[in-house]
Structure 1
Amino acid sequence: MAAKGTRVTQQEKEKMWQLYQQGYTFVKIAKQLRRSPDTVSRYVHAYEAAVSAAGYVMNAK
């Protein structure tokens, strides 16, 4: 695992999201990126919310 207190980069967040969309589990992603499954879950859900909000704004009339 990454050292406690290390920051998750934007590239890591995007990679987590991409792997999750490919069907990987939080545990599998965490092992691959050497992060905690809780951290992966937190950032995947946050990224998902951001993508959803951006889509909502783009489609608003």
Structure 2
Amino acid sequence: MAAYVSQAEKELMWKLYQKYGTYKAVADKLNRNPGTVSRHVREYEAAVSAAGYILNQKDR
């Protein structure tokens, strides 16, 4: 069974990824699997990107 990853932890994973640059470094810091970190960092980036796209469209 997969462990639950909260929204706050996803954001933390993303911030740490911005700082350290590798999924493995983040996984080591949070005691998580690098695959789990990778999946959630990419998911968070997609959500941020989509939100930015929508906000930029409203300005036009």
TM normalised by structure 2 equals 0.87
Residue equivalent to 2:20: 23
Q: Moved runs in structure 1, 4+ residues, more than 3 A?
A: none
Structure 2: tracts of 5 or more residues without a match: none
Letter of the aligned partner of 1:14 in structure 2? E
Structure 1: tracts of 5 or more residues without a match: none
TM normalised by structure 1 equals 0.86
* Residue in structure 2 matching 1:52, options 49, 54, 57: 49
Higher normalized contact order (CA 8 Å, seq sep 6+, divided by chain length): 1
* Alignment coverage as a number of residue pairs: 58
CA drift at 1:25: 1.1
* Residue in structure 2 matching 1:9, options 6, 9, 13: 6
CA drift at 1:5: 1.9
**RMSD, matched Cα:** 1.1
Q: What percent of counterpart residues are identical?
A: 53
The structure that is helix-richer by fraction is: 2
